[in-house]
Structure formats: C-alpha cells, structure tokens
A and B are shown apart, each in its own frame.
Chain A
Amino acid sequence: MYDMKALYQAKDVADAVALRLAHPEAHIIAGGSDVLVQMREGKRAGVELISIQGLDELRGVSLEEDGTLRIGSLTSFSHITRDPLIQKYINVLGEAVDQVGGPQIRNIGTIGGNTCNGVTSADSASTLHAWDAVVELTGPDGVRCQPISEFYIRAGKVDIREGEIQTAILIQKDSYLDTFGHYIKYAMRNAMDIATLGTSVNVRLSADKKTVERARVAFGVAGPVPLRARTAEALAAGKPVTMELAEAFAQAVKEDINPRDSWRAAKDFRMHIAVESAKRAFIESVKLAGGAL
C-alpha cells in the first residue's frame, strides 16, 4: 500500500483542471515512476494525488497545420522512440529518451513527468532545451504556452500555476527543419542510471554543407536546471565546418555552464566531459546533417 491521503482520478483535461483547483495541495501523478518512488521513500508520504494517467487524449505525437510537432505530455518514452514523426523530424529526442532507466521505466515514464519534475539530469530535458521546445499548459483560463527555458525556475521547481497541468511539448517547424542532432549521456552504467552529464547538440548546415547556419547546445547536470551554452552557439554560427570549429565550439561551452561537485562526479570532471561531449556531439550532428570535417 502506498502512503497516500487520497487519490483523485481525472476523467479528462477539464476535470484535471477542476481537481487541481479543488485540491491545490495535491500532487499530480502521470506515469508514477517518480511520484510513487518518492512516496515510498517517504518524501511524498501522506499526500493527496491527482492521477492524470487515464487521459489518453494526452498521448501520442502529431503534426499541427503550421508544421508544429506536438508531443502529448503523457506519451511514454518508448512510444516517443518508436514514433515515425519523431524519427523523421527530431530523432535525437527518441534516442535520448531511449537512455532513460530501463525498458519498463521507458514504458511508464512520460515526457510530461520528465520535464515537470524539474530535474536537471532528465534525459529529455537537454534535447528539449536545445530544440527550443515550447511547453503547453492548460489551466482555468485556457491554454498557456511557454518556452522551456522559462518553464524551469530552479532545481525541482517548474512554472506550473494554480489549476494548471502540462498538456503538450511543442517543437516549432523552424526548430526542426533541416536540423540534425546528437545526444550523449555520460553515466556510470548503461542502464538504470542517472546522467552524470547530458549533452545535446544540433546543427543546421548551409545548402552546400560547408557552413554552419545554426548550432545549438544544451546540457543537463551542468547547472541546477538544464541550460544552453549560448556563447558556443554564437561562435559557431556562420562559420565554415572544420575540425577547428568543433574544438573551438566545445571549448566555448565552458563560458556558460556551471556544474557542481556531487557524489556522482566532481565539478572539474563534469567540465572536462562537457567539453569532450560537446565536441563529439557536434561532429556527429554535422555528419548527420551531411557535412564532412
């Protein structure tokens, strides 16, 4: 038995919003792989839960009329990895979430939960930051959209307001068009482990594949929340594709990241693997985009 005070099961999004307003102290539970584990640990013992698990309308990936890629917040990691739209437009997201936990965790874990828990090490988070994802929240006043960089407030805290639930993650067309990315999870084990550092890079090359039009890079565990390394991005934009650029781009990430010492790894070590991962992920992204260096 779980030590919960009460369970409220939402029937649809409107019902979830009503339950959020009626029970402001209650915690939202989606897949449960964070909430139930923390309940077992005692961290969330005795709380009320609003379950949105049954809201099938929040599952699945689709393309909207303007080309925006819409990922329902309850879409599980394994379904994201297998989805043909994800594979076509943002394959790196499918690869990143395929490194979460183990197979059973990937069947229950949701992209909404992975972002709403506000954890810097979440395998989806760095890629979503690197692709300028937009978070869709539905509340009593309707739908509110927010860039993911503003959604994260501090470690473990995201901008979900009174009565709101997260309903989708959106990737706009300009973000994914002709863009190719690569994610590197650095962890001690290949399965059932949390990232020591997560690095997600993506690039868009010019038509002749000789010049970087746009490069973006984001990290997990390089700060209290996932973050972008804008200095490196600005440095690479408009530059010819070369190995020297890959090296300079990687060195420049140090300007913007601020990892900490923890029992998993020392700050210096995280700095080191951030540079190396940025370089490798940049090279791989360029190759995926059809460039040579």
Chain B
Amino acid sequence: MEKHVIQYQTVHFNLNGKDVERTVDVRASLTDTLRNDFRMTSVKKGCEVGECGACNVLIDGEAFNSCIYLAVWAEGKRIRTLEGLLGPNGELSDIQQAFVDEAAIQCGFCTPGFILTAVEILESGKEYTDDELRKLLSGHLCRCTGYENILRAVKKTMYKRLGKEMPQA
C-alpha cells in the first residue's frame, strides 16, 4: 500500500469554555482528539460511522457525531462535552440529575451522547411534544433502557426549565 503523507496541523478551539490548542494528525477524528489528547472520556467510541450517537458533542451549539468529524475542522469552534456540564465542585447539572432520578441510565454508554442532545433541545428554550422529542432524540441508540425513561428525563427537565407544570400522561 502506498504510504500516506505525514501531516500535522495545529488547531485552536474552545473546549468547555477554555481556549485550547493542539497539534493533531490530520487523519484524526474529533473523537480521537477529545479522548486521547484531552481525556474527555465521556465521548464514547461506539459504531464510529455516525449511527449510534455515543460520540455526540456540541459544536457551536449543535449536536454532531464527533466520530465522523475531522479534528482539524474544530479550528475556531466552541466544543462542549459532558465534562463541561459539571459544576465547579463536580456537581451534576439538572439534566444529568434527571437521568439519575428517572433511571434513564443502565450501562451508561449512550448517556453522554443523549445528554448533550438533550442540552441542545433544552437550550432552544422551546416546548416540544412527545413526538417531537422522540424525533429529536432519535439519533441515539440505547440497548438497555427502552428509551421511555430517557424521554421522561428530558421532558421533565424541559418543563422545569420552562417553569411549567409537566402534564400528567
């Protein structure tokens, strides 16, 4: 096989509120860089072809599967991972606590991805129907929970943040 050209590039981006820079191999995915260079191990390696959502991160406020995103594309972007949701002393955010309270977690592998999509949903400030929430969460696979508890955790937090009573089903 023909050898590849050895290519490195320095990328600058904002990771969970902090400006960072790293010299990366241009062949690296953003998942590789976040896990290996920054120890953001909430970013899970699942299918690595953009189907399961375990590697989901927020880039400029939108959810992306970081496994099919080149690390060099992060230049100038604002990137958030689950680690960025924690309070100064490691306190859980409301959406994380809701996942715990609603038993929306079993093995936990899909959880960081789901929670970051939930953050995008919650930060839109909109009120969604159950069907809309299901569609918005549909880019993640969970083999443990059956999804109902995840939906409930997101819905509960949505109503809490909107300052409204959650309608009883």
Q: Which residues of A contact B (CB under 8 A)?
A: 1-7, 9, 32-33, 36-37, 40-41, 46, 51, 53-54, 78, 101-105, 107-108, 190-192
Minimum CB–CB distance from B113 to chain A (whole Å) comes to 9
Q: How far is the CA of A7 from the CA of B4 in the complex (A)?
A: 10
Q: How far is the CA of A119 from the CA of B56 in the complex (A)?
A: 26
Which of A2, A4, A46, A54: most chain B CB closer than 10 A? A2
Q: A37-B68, A51-B70 are in contact. Are A104 and B139 (CB under 8 A)?
A: yes
Contacting pair A108 B138 (CB below 8 A):
no
Contacting pair B138 A102 (CB below 8 A):
yes
Known A2-B70, A53-B73; further 17 A-B contacts with Cβ < 8 A:
A4-B26, A32-B70, A36-B68, A37-B49, A37-B68, A41-B49, A51-B70, A101-B50, A102-B138, A102-B139, A102-B140, A103-B117, A103-B137, A104-B64, A104-B65, A108-B68, A192-B139
Contacting pair A190 B62 (CB below 8 A):
no
Contacting pair B70 A7 (CB below 8 A):
yes
List of A residues within 8 angstroms of B2 by Cβ? 5, 46
Q: Does residue B164 face the partner (Cβ distance < 8 Å to A)?
A: no
Contacting pair A54 B73 (CB below 8 A):
yes
Q: A46-B2, A104-B65 are in contact. Are A2 and B138 (CB under 8 A)?
A: no
Q: Of B27-35, B78-86, B103-111, which stretch is located at the interface?
A: B27-35
Minimum CB–CB distance from B5 to chain A (whole Å) comes to 4
Which residues 53-88 in B have Cβ within 8 Å of A in the complex? 53, 56, 62-65, 68-70, 72-73, 75
Q: Which of A5, A7, A46, A105 contacts B50 (CB 8 A)?
A: A105
Contacting pair A7 B139 (CB below 8 A):
no
Contacting pair B27 A1 (CB below 8 A):
yes
Q: How far is the CA of A40 from the CA of B63 in the complex (A)?
A: 21
Contacting pair B139 A191 (CB below 8 A):
yes
List of B residues within 8 angstroms of A36 by Cβ? 29, 50, 68, 70
Q: A101-B139, A103-B139 are in contact. Are A1 and B28 (CB under 8 A)?
A: yes
Contacting pair B4 A104 (CB below 8 A):
no
How many pairs of A and B residues are in contact by the CB < 8 Å rule?
93
Identify the closest chain B residue to A103 (Cβ): B139
Q: Which of A7, A33, A103 contacts B68 (CB 8 A)?
A: A33
Q: Which residues of B contact A (CB under 8 A)?
A: 1-2, 4-5, 7, 25-29, 32, 48-51, 53, 56, 62-65, 68-70, 72-73, 75, 117, 135-140
Minimum CB–CB distance from B104 to chain A (whole Å) comes to 18
Q: A37-B68, A46-B1, A191-B139 are in contact. Are A6 and B63 (CB under 8 A)?
A: no
Contacting pair B4 A5 (CB below 8 A):
yes
Main secondary structure, interface of B, reads: loop
Q: A1-B25, A46-B4 are in contact. Are A108 and B139 (CB under 8 A)?
A: no
Contacting pair A104 B27 (CB below 8 A):
no
* 4 closest A-B pairs by CB: A102-B139, A191-B138, A6-B5, A7-B26
List of A residues within 8 angstroms of B136 by Cβ? 103
Contacting pair A108 B64 (CB below 8 A):
yes
8 residue pairs A–B, Cβ–Cβ below 8 Å: A7-B70, A9-B72, A33-B68, A46-B1, A51-B72, A54-B73, A101-B50, A103-B63
List of B residues within 8 angstroms of A104 by Cβ? 50, 53, 56, 63-65, 117, 139
List of A residues within 8 angstroms of B51 by Cβ? 192
Q: How far is the CA of A53 from the CA of B75 in the complex (A)?
A: 11
Minimum CB–CB distance from B106 to chain A (whole Å) comes to 21
Q: How far is the CA of A2 from the CA of B29 in the complex (A)?
A: 7
Q: Which of B26, B28, B138 contacts A103 (CB 8 A)?
A: B138
Contacting pair B139 A6 (CB below 8 A):
no
Identify the closest chain B residue to A35 (Cβ): B68
Q: How far is the CA of A214 from the CA of B132 in the complex (A)?
A: 34
Q: How far is the CA of A190 from the CA of B138 in the complex (A)?
A: 9
Identify the closest chain A residue to B120 (Cβ): A103
List of A residues within 8 angstroms of B72 by Cβ? 7, 9, 51
Contacting pair B69 A108 (CB below 8 A):
yes
